[in-house]
Structure 1
Amino acid sequence: MQELIHTMIRVLDEERSLAFYGALGFGEIGRSRVGGDTATVIFLGLPGDGGRLELTLNDGRTEPYEIGEGYGHIALTVSDGMDAELARLAEHGIEPERPPYEAYPGGPRICFVRDPDGYRVELLERNPVDAFGTAG
Structure 2
Amino acid sequence: MATFLHTMVRITDPERSRAFYEALGFRFSRDMDIVRDGELEATNYFFSIGDSENVLELTYNHDGRTYEIGTAYGHIAVGVDDLDGALARLQREHGIEPERPPYRVTEGGSRICFVRDPDDYRIELIERRSH
Give the TM-score of the pair, scaled to structure 2: 0.86
Distance 1:16 1:55 in 2: 12
Q: What residue in structure 2 maps to residue 71 of structure 1?
A: 73
Distance 2:111 2:10 in 1: 28
User: Which of 115, 121, 124 matches 2:117?
Assistant: 115
1:49 aligns to 2:52 (yes or no):
yes
Point out the structure with the larger strand share.
2
Structure 1 residues 35 and 7: alpha-carbon distance in aligned structure 2, compared to 1, 3 A threshold: farther
Give the TM-score of the pair, scaled to structure 1: 0.83
Q: What residue in structure 2 maps to residue 87 of structure 1?
A: 88
Q: 4+ runs of 1 displaced by more than 4 Å?
A: none
Q: 1:18-71 CA deviation, whole Å, 9 max, x = no partner?
A: 1111111112101111262411101011244301100001112242x1111111
Distance 1:43 1:14 in 2: 11
**Consecutive unaligned residues in structure 1, runs of 5 or more:** 128-136
Give the percent of matched residue pairs that are identical in Structure 1 and Structure 2: 52
Distance 2:86 2:26 in 1: 14
Q: How many residues align?
A: 125
* CA RMSD in angstroms, aligned pairs only: 1.7
Q: What residue in structure 2 maps to residue 98 of structure 1?
A: 100
Task: Assess if the C-alpha contact under 8 Å between 2:20 and 2:90 holds in 1.
Answer: no
**3-state DSSP class of the match of 2:54?**
coil
Distance 2:4 2:35 in 1: 22
Task: Assess if the C-alpha contact under 8 Å between 2:11 and 2:17 holds in 1.
Answer: yes
With 7-16 and 39-48 compared, the bigger mean Cα shift is at 39-48
**Consecutive unaligned residues in structure 2, runs of 5 or more:** none
